[in-house]
Amino acid sequence: MTATELDHIALLRRAIAESRKAREGGVHPFAAILVGPDGEVLMTQHNAYMPDHDMTGHAERVLMTRASTTLPMALLKDCTIYTSAEPCAMCAGAIYWAGLKRVVYGLSEHAMKQITGNHPENPTLDLPCRVVFAAGQREIEVIGPMLEDEAAAVHEGMWG
């Protein structure tokens, strides 16, 4: 399966569904999945904020730590991360350092900031991941925002 054959819509919907599961489990409604070049889901991760209140426990960052410590770099360079919301600057950095090829996301950071406002548990940085990646020395393909209404629906009533 080639990158153009990956079903971005279906895989992103899976990440959004995982974000819904995270919320139902009492965790902030964010999730990410790591997909190999053949379309196989290799790992899934929800936010790890609770129970220790780890403000760096974002789904993408935790997933990149897990992936980069257990999977070969040769595989990671052909992987795609699907995220329910655009990776923040911290998570974009983790994705860059893990060596991924592509990011596909639902809700943009700008839209996320509009939803959360200045909530103390999610002080959103309105900094597109494309800007973070552009400062790097290798290209990371970015696709998104996509399915923004579906991704936003998971956050309804969460941050008010």
Q: Residues 112, 158: contact at Cβ < 8 Å?
A: no
* 60 is annotated as an active-site residue: yes
Paired strand residues for 33: 44, 82
Catalytic residue among 18, 60, 86, 150: 60
CB contact set of 140 (below 8 Å; sequence gap of 6+): 95, 96, 100, 101, 102, 103, 133
Please identify every residue annotated as catalytic. Answer: 60
